[in-house]
Amino acid sequence: MKYQFIGTHRRSYGVRALCRALQISASGYYAARSRPPSVRSKRQVLLTSQIQDIHATSRQTYGAPRIHAELCAHGIGCSRNTVAKLMRQAQIMPKAIRRFRVTTDSRNTKASPNLLGRVFQAGRPNQCWLSDITYIPTREGWLYLATVLDLYSRAIVGWGMSKTLDCRLAMDALNMAIRRRGSRPAILHSDQGSTYAAAEYRALLGGYAIRQSMSRKADCWDNAPMESFFHTLKTELVMHCDYRTRDQARASLFEYIEVFYNRQRRHSTICYEAPLAFEASTNA
């Protein structure tokens, strides 16, 4: 490692100055340079290259745990600590995290009981779905995104987008989910927002015989998997984009959800498999 550091900075500081600072001999450095790379060194170079490829394929979103899972899936044996160390050395970092404000308006709404109690587990697909709405900034104004998440696999099974925020948006997302899955959940959980408390939305749930569950007021942890998805979406995509139009944002969100998140992105909660791949493997 010391010799690599000297090789990287020798033009800026000089070999002898760096050797004195690191308390090694200049002759030792030059001798090391003349030796062929060791088997271990060659393997680390190859592994670093593979890590860089996976990081790029993940849209620069994967950290060490997901990259390690991807390597293992391709039969490349190594430890997670080795992956983390090589990422630090190569300065490979996942995209930065940014916090987002809560936008739920639960004033003057009658809440349904919380049927989950923060037990975010389901034994099969379509047993329990979660839903929520977030906003996406564009130069034309907000684009609102409603999503429905299957608690079993963390797949986004339905979504809706609109420039206006009302219960129709949440209803579109739910109708899409039921149409695509060919089934309905026993429970649908959301926050206490006025959108989900609207009579029209509750009537839709009643028509499908779906039991409504709601988080406690101002408690995002009661809908944590859904909040986690929005955090991931914004961290990995939205905060790195400058959408000129709502149509541009729609296309970007569609591609992220349907192509990357559901089918490619490894999820830590489901043994680092992609959501739809996890469903396929468990139902095989």
Cβ-proximal residues to 105 (8 Å cutoff; 6+ apart), any chain: 193, 194
Give me the mean pLDDT over the 163-167 stretch: 93
Nearest Cα residue to 147 out of 133, 136, 137: 133
Structure tokens at 87: 């990422």
pLDDT for 104 equals 54
Residue 276, pLDDT above cutoff 90 = yes
pLDDT for 21 equals 81
Residue 51, pLDDT above cutoff 70 = yes
Give me the mean pLDDT over the 144-164 stretch: 97
pLDDT digits (tens, 9 = 90+) for 14-45: 888 888 887 888 888 787 777 776 787 778 88
- Rounded Cα–Cα distance for residues 280 and 237 (Å): 26
pLDDT for 2 equals 64
Which amino acid, 191? Answer: D
DSSP structure string for 46-86: HHHHHHHHHHHHTTT---HHHHHHHHHHTT----HHHHHHH
CB atoms within 10 A of CB 20: 12
Residue 1, pLDDT above cutoff 60 = no
210, 188 Cβ separation under 8 angstroms: yes
Cα Rg, the chain, nearest whole Å = 24
Please, what's the largest Cα pairwise distance for the chain? 82
pLDDT digits (tens, 9 = 90+) for 57-68: 888 889 889 999
- Rounded Cα–Cα distance for residues 223 and 166 (Å): 20
pLDDT for 273 equals 96
pLDDT for 119 equals 93
- 273: which DSSP letter? B
E runs forming strands in the chain: 128-138, 141-150, 156-162, 187-190, 211-214
- Rounded Cα–Cα distance for residues 277 and 153 (Å): 9
211 or 104: which leads in pLDDT? 211
Residue 138, pLDDT above cutoff 60 = yes
Q: What is each CA distance from 200 to 116, 162, 194, 203, in whole angstroms?
A: 23, 17, 11, 5
pLDDT digits (tens, 9 = 90+) for 207-240: 999 999 999 876 778 999 999 999 999 999 999 9
**Angle made by CA atoms 236, 241, 245, in degrees to the nearest 5:** 135
Mean pLDDT for all residues in the chain: 89
Which amino acid, 13? Answer: Y
Residue 262, pLDDT above cutoff 50 = yes
- 262: which DSSP letter? T
102 or 156: which leads in pLDDT? 156
pLDDT for 100 equals 46
Residue 271, pLDDT above cutoff 60 = yes
- 260: which DSSP letter? I
Q: Going by DSSP bridges, is the β-strand pair 128-138/187-190 parallel, antiparallel, or unpaired?
A: parallel
Give me the mean pLDDT over the 179-198 stretch: 95
* pLDDT band at residue 109 under the 50/70/90 scheme: low
Lowest-pLDDT range, 24-38, 147-161, 187-201? 24-38
**Angle made by CA atoms 74, 79, 82, in degrees to the nearest 5:** 110
* pLDDT band at residue 283 under the 50/70/90 scheme: confident
Residue 97, pLDDT above cutoff 70 = no
Structure tokens at 186: 């026993």
Nearest Cα residue to 133 out of 179, 85, 169, 98: 169
- Rounded Cα–Cα distance for residues 146 and 201 (Å): 13
